[in-house]
Amino acid sequence: MIVNENMFMFVILILSSIYITSSEYAPSCRNFDCEYKLLSKLIQLEEKTAQQDSKISLLTAKLEDAEKTIANLNDTIVTNQKSADGTTYIRWGRTTCPGKAVLVYDGYVAGSDHLHSGTAANPLCLPKDPDYDKYLDGFQESGRICGAEYQTNSYPKWKYLHDHEIPCAVCQIPRNNVLMVPGKDRCHDNYMLEYKGYLMSEHFKHASSSEFVCVDGNPETIKGTHQNLNGKLFHFVEGTCGSLPCNPYKNGWELTCAVCSYSYNAKSTSIQPYT
């Protein structure tokens, strides 16, 4: 092979330049073998970096899949809680449930007529769509139930409710302990407020006995029912000083109430979303 003298000198200059440059950044290198090793290490480093990038991409994809799985499991847990766990309570005077409580159904408050001494003492939340099976038309020798009305004519703030029939809502929550606290409009420690209002019952002179219920402090009415039909009647409950301690209870003052659900470490008196 014949090599031109000028070409030979050009190759010598290129190799000398490589040697001088490598010497500046790697003084320990003294020959082309060292340069080769450095180049090999750089190539290996690039290959490892590419491998790490591939692993990171794979792990990122797996993490996204795991997050989706966790989200689906959380949705399943919430659904199961709404459908199986927890308990129910009646929100008297309202058609909806507070916070994130689930509405089972809304309906009409009903109970024994205020002049009847029989049937039953407790009010009920009747659904709007009753089912009948076997029946006889007309009244028989039986218990009787009728709709409930507010009796609030003596109270300026609630006068607009007078003689209106009362709605109700059955609410489900993901907890297993509900407590109605009479005489309080807030909950104790470890209990969360569902709603607050006023204690109501039948009039103390009426023949029909009654349970005390907590009617929501922001009550609704059943539209189109403003008639004086009586039936089951809801009156405010006032404390009687003397039989009750006169301090702190006040003679003739209307008693408040709160419906509370157990939630460990809960301290707030505000309605809260469920966790």
pLDDT of residue 84: 60
pLDDT band at 24 (very low <50, low <70, confident <90, very high): very low
What is the chain's alpha carbon radius of gyration, rounded to the nearest angstrom?
40
CB atoms within 10 A of CB 195: 26
| Residue extents of the structural domains in the chain | 33-84, 87-128+144-262
Q: What is the pLDDT of residues 215-235, one digit of tens each?
A: 999 999 998 777 777 789 999
What is 189-241 written as a DSSP string?
A: TTEEEEEEEEEEES-TTSSS----EEEESS----TT--S---SEEEEE-B--B
Residue 268 has pLDDT above 80, yes or no: no
Angle between helices 5-25 and 32-83 (to 10 degrees): 50
Instruction: Name the residue among 174, 185, 199 with its Cα closest to residue 260.
Output: 185
Q: What is the mean pLDDT of the chain?
A: 83
Q: What is the pLDDT of residues 177-226, one digit of tens each?
A: 999 999 999 999 999 999 999 999 998 888 877 899 999 999 999 987 77
Global pTM reads 0.66
Q: What is the pLDDT of residues 120-160, one digit of tens each?
A: 889 999 999 999 999 899 888 888 899 999 999 999 999 99
